[in-house]
Structures are given as structure tokens and as C-alpha cells.
């Protein structure tokens, strides 16, 4: 049974970023991307949980949901959607540059992604500020009332809508903030010249995360800003 023994021929010295428990960079790359995908599965179910609650109440209280969406700044939300899509594009290009050994391209694209990501957060905080001032923050600070007193009965339900608004966008913004932090780290490494055609998994993984956050927003925008009054025009 000595054939079980495994002869380890002397090979060239290991790559500096190869962790000791992996055989080679390929294995390490596959492990990191699979890890990120698995993490994104978790994230999908994480957001899925709130979305489930959101939909249950959206079906129960369509009028309040429509009224809630009316309070949103569609221009800001739409702009942000575009901003995020652009940042996704630049992120994808950053990965591509890394794949092609293009250090300058990688750095440039990462910086652009960073700029757009921050821009998104800026616009978002502007919206948050406006909501806060209008009393659209649920809880003790809430003091918003519909202009038409006849529909004031909808107020608690609109507050519920706003819970989901703050919850969903807040969770998304939290992901963006983490994303920006990660981007800074990746940028520093790219600057240092860590990445090249054989070792760019961190950039790729960063990209997966960033695109996922973008996808979340693709859904949040219509869910929170663009709800029509289905068959319930009388309330609005």
C-alpha cells in the first residue's frame, strides 16, 4: 500500500499570494469566487426576507403603498439607478483590465467606481435628509400627514411603508458603504501592482459583490419609488 504515498516533486517557489493550504493559484481563485457566490446566496435570502414582508403588506395595503411611493423623489432615485449602473460598468471594466495585466486601467476604473459609489451615497443621504425633515422617519419622530385629511387613516400604513423604505434602502446603503471600504482596499492593492492575469481573484470577487449590490437597487427602485395606484385612485 505504499503507493498511497504521494511524491512531491520540487517545484518552483510558490507565488507570494498563494496561501499555504492551497495547491496552486487556480484552486485559490476558484475557492474565492465560489465563496463569494455562496455568500451572495445568503444575501439573496437576506434581502428576500424583507422583500417578502414588503410584498405581503403591499398586497394588503395597496393604497398606502402607492401613497408612500408618492413621497419619494423619483428623480433622485432614477439618477441613482443610473449612477449605480455606470459604477457597475466601470467595476466590470476594472476586472477586465486586471485580467489583461493592465494595472493603470484597473486603478483608473476602480477610482471611477469609487467615485460613482460615493455619488450614490451622497444622493441617498440628500433624500434621507429630506425625509427626515418631512417627518417621514418611522417611530417617535414621525410627523408626516397626508395633505388631504380625508385619507389620514392611511397614515399608519404609510408609516409601515416607510419602515420598509428605510429598512431596504438602509440595508442597501450599508452594503454600499462596506463596498466602498472594500474598494479602497482593492484599489490600494491594485496601485501596488498586486494583480495580474494569473492573480486577480480579489478584484473579481469585489466585482461580484458590487454587481450584486447594483442588482438589489435595480429592484428597489421600482419597488419603492414607482408604485402605481392600482384600481384605487379614489384614495389618492
Partner 1 sequence: MLIADFPLFPDQASTMASKVDNLYLFLIALCGTVSVGVFLTIFYFAIKYRRRPDNEIAEDYEPPKILEVTWIVIPSILFLGIFVWASWVYFQLARVPDNSLQIYATAKQWMWKFQHPTGQREINELHVPVNRPIKITMASEDVIHSLYFPAFRTKMDVLPNRYRTMWFQATKTGRYHIFCAEYCGTLHSGMVGWVDVMEPTAYQTWLAGGSEGSLASQGEKLFQKYACNTCHTNDASGRGPVLIGVYGSSVMLSDNTIVPADDNYIRESILNPQAKIVKGFGPPSVMPTFQGQVSEDDLLKLLAFVKSLGSTRTAAPAVASPQSSTTTAAAQTTKEPKKKP
Partner 2 sequence: MSDSLPPQGGHVHTPLHHVTPISTYLTVFAALAIGTLLTWYASTLDLGMMNTPIALLIAVIKATLVILFFMHVLHSTRLTWVVLIAAFLWLGVLFVLTFSDYLTRAWPIY
Partner 3 sequence: MTTTTLHDVRFIEPAKTRNYLNEDYGFFSWVLTRDHKRIAILYLISVTIMFMVGGFFAMMMRLELLTPEGDLLTSDTYNKFFTLHGIVMIFFFLIPSIPAVLGNFILPLQLGAKDLAFPRINLLSWYLYIIGASFGTYVIISGGVDTGWTFYTPFSTQYSNTHVFATTLGAFIVGFSSILTGLNFIVTTHRMRAPGLTWFRLPLNVWALYATSIVMLLATPVLGITLIMLMIERVLHVGIFDPALGGDPLLYQHMFWFYSHPAVYIMILPAMGVASDVIAAFTRKRIFGYKFVAFSSLAIAFLGFLVWAHHMFVAGISVYSAMIFAFLSFFVAVPSAIKVFNWTATMYRASVSWQTPMLYAMGFIGLFTIGGVTGLFLASLGLDVHVTDTYFVVAHFHYVMVGGAVMAYMAGLHYWWPKITGRMYPEWWARLAALLIFVGFNLTFFPQFILGYLGMPRRYHAYAPEFQVLNVLSTAGASVLAVGYALPLVYLLLSLKLGRPAGPNPWGAVGLEWTTSSPPPKENFHETPVVTWEAYDYRGMMKAMGETQNV
Residues contributing to the site for partner 3 (CB under 8 A):
1-6, 8, 19-23, 27, 30-31, 34-35, 38-39, 41-43, 45-50, 52-53, 56-57, 60-61, 138-140, 156-157, 159-160, 163, 167
Pick the piece of the chain touching partner 2 (CB under 8 A) from 26-34, 113-121, 165-173, 182-190.
Answer: 26-34
Q: How far is CA 135 from the centre of its chain?
A: 26
- State which H helix or E strand residue 187 sits in: helix 155-192
The angle formed by the CA atoms of residues 112, 116 and 121, to the nearest 5 degrees, is 145
Spatial distance between the Cα atoms of 195 and 188, rounded to a whole number of angstroms:
11
Residue 235 binding target from partner 1, partner 2, partner 3, none, CB below 5 to 8 Å by type: partner 1
Question: Exposed e or buried b for every residue in 77-100, given b needs 16+ CB within 10 A?
Answer: beebbebbebbbebbebbbbbbbe
Q: Are 97 and 109 in contact (CB under 8 A)?
A: yes
Spatial distance between the Cα atoms of 134 and 73, rounded to a whole number of angstroms:
12
Spatial distance between the Cα atoms of 193 and 107, rounded to a whole number of angstroms:
9
With contacts defined by CB under 8 A, how many residues of the chain interact with partner 1?
8
Residue 189 binding target from partner 2, partner 1, partner 3, none, CB below 5 to 8 Å by type: none
For partner 3, the closer CB: 3 or 231: 3
Closest CA to 137 of 147, 128, 145, 146: 128
Residue 91 binding target from partner 3, partner 2, partner 1, none, CB below 5 to 8 Å by type: partner 2
For partner 2, the closer CB: 86 or 108: 86
Contacts of 87 (CB under 8 A, 6+ apart): 112, 113, 116, 117, 120, 210, 214
Residue 112 binding target from partner 3, partner 2, partner 1, none, CB below 5 to 8 Å by type: none
Query: Under the rule (CB under 8 A), what is the footprint of partner 2?
Result: 6-7, 9, 23-27, 29-31, 33-34, 37-38, 40-41, 44-45, 48-49, 52, 55-56, 59-60, 74, 78, 81-82, 85-86, 88-89, 91-93, 96, 99-100, 197-198, 204, 207-208, 211-212, 214-215, 218-219, 221-222, 226-228, 230-231
Amino acid at each position: 500500500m505504499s503507493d498511497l504515498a504521494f511524491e512531491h516533486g520540487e517545484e518552483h517557489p510558490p507565488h507570494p499570494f498563494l496561501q499555504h493550504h492551497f495547491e496552486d493559484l487556480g484552486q485559490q481563485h476558484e475557492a474565492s469566487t465560489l465563496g463569494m457566490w455562496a455568500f451572495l446566496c445568503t444575501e439573496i435570502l437576506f434581502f428576500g426576507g424583507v422583500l417578502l414582508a414588503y410584498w405581503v403588506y403591499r398586497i394588503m395595503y395597496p393604497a398606502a403603498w402607492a401613497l408612500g411611493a408618492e413621497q419619494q423623489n423619483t428623480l433622485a432615485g432614477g439618477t441613482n439607478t443610473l449612477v449605480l449602473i455606470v459604477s457597475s460598468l466601470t467595476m466590470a471594466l476594472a476586472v477586465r483590465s486586471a485580467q489583461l495585466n493592465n494595472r493603470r486601467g484597473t486603478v483608473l476604473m476602480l477610482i471611477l467606481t469609487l467615485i460613482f459609489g460615493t455619488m450614490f451615497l451622497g444622493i441617498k443621504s440628500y433624500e434621507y435628509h429630506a425625509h427626515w425633515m418631512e417627518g417621514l422617519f418611522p417611530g417617535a419622530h414621525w410627523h408626516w400627514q397626508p395633505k388631504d385629511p380625508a385619507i389620514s387613516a392611511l397614515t399608519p400604513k404609510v408609516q409601515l411603508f416607510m419602515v420598509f423604505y428605510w429598512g431596504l434602502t438602509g440595508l442597501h446603503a450599508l452594503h454600499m458603504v462596506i463596498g466602498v471600504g472594500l474598494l479602497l482596499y482593492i484599489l490600494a492593492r491594485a496601485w501596488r501592482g498586486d494583480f495580474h492575469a494569473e492573480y486577480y481573484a480579489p478584484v473579481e470577487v469585489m466585482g461580484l459583490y458590487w454587481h450584486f449590490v447594483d442588482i438589489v437597487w435595480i429592484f428597489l427602485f421600482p419597488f419603492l419609488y414607482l408604485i402605481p395606484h392600482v384600481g384605487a385612485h379614489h384614495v389618492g
